[in-house]
Amino acid sequence: MKKQFILFYVALIVAAPICFGQASPPTSDKFAKEAEITDLEKAAWEAFKNKQADAFKKLLSKRYCGVYAEGIKSADAEAADMAKFDLRDYSLGDMKVTFPSIGVAVVTYKATQQATFAGQDISGAYNCASVLIVRRGKWLVVFHTEVKAP
């Protein structure tokens, strides 16, 4: 009987860390934050499409960096290039948001766009990612990149 009692406690000690190490189920607060991040990303695309430079720049951090095949851009360069873009239509899909630390969000997604840049057709599917940070209680895009999908 004593042997069974000892085995029970050993099993309990071994199993306890496994139980407590399980990921907690997503909370409604997490879902709300994910929705806020995806809504901000969609708002940035909509502002860019409608050539609303001021609204677009309000979504970006002062230290924003955009990385593209044609180069690395600041927030001002992104807004200035807006005039060269004709984003006729777009769709965003397969959006995934992760929070690697407090106040930091990473969103990845696929974008399909019908667009031209400086008169050249750049339509197609793109794999995109943005990093957002919280500053003074507001989420801002600090980094964005797009890579044309194969």
The CATH code of the domain that includes 96 is 3.10.450.50
Which residue segment(s) compose the domain that 96 sits in? 28-148
Phi then psi dihedrals of residue 27, to 5 deg: -95, 165
Instruction: Indicate whether 74 belongs to any domain.
Output: yes
In a domain? residue 22: no
Please report whether residue 107 resides in a domain.
yes
Model pLDDT, residue 31:
73
pLDDT recorded at residue 70: 84
Give domain status of residue 122, yes or no: yes
Domain count, the chain: 1
Q: What is the pLDDT of residue 33?
A: 87
On whether residue 23 sits in a domain, the answer given is no
Cβ atoms of 106 and 37 within 8 Å: the answer is: no
Query: Which structure tokens are listed for 106?
Result: 């990473």
User: Quick one: pLDDT at residue 7?
Assistant: 36
Biggest CA-to-CA distance, the chain: 84
A 10 A CB-CB count for 35 gives 11
* 16 found inside a domain: no
List the chain pLDDT tens, one digit each, 150 residues: 454 434 334 343 444 444 344 444 445 577 788 999 999 999 999 999 999 999 999 999 999 999 998 899 999 999 999 999 999 999 999 999 999 999 999 999 999 999 999 999 999 999 999 999 999 999 999 999 999 998
Residue 2 located in a structural domain: no
Per-residue confidence (pLDDT) for residue 127, from 0 to 100: 96
For residue 9, being part of any structural domain is answered with no
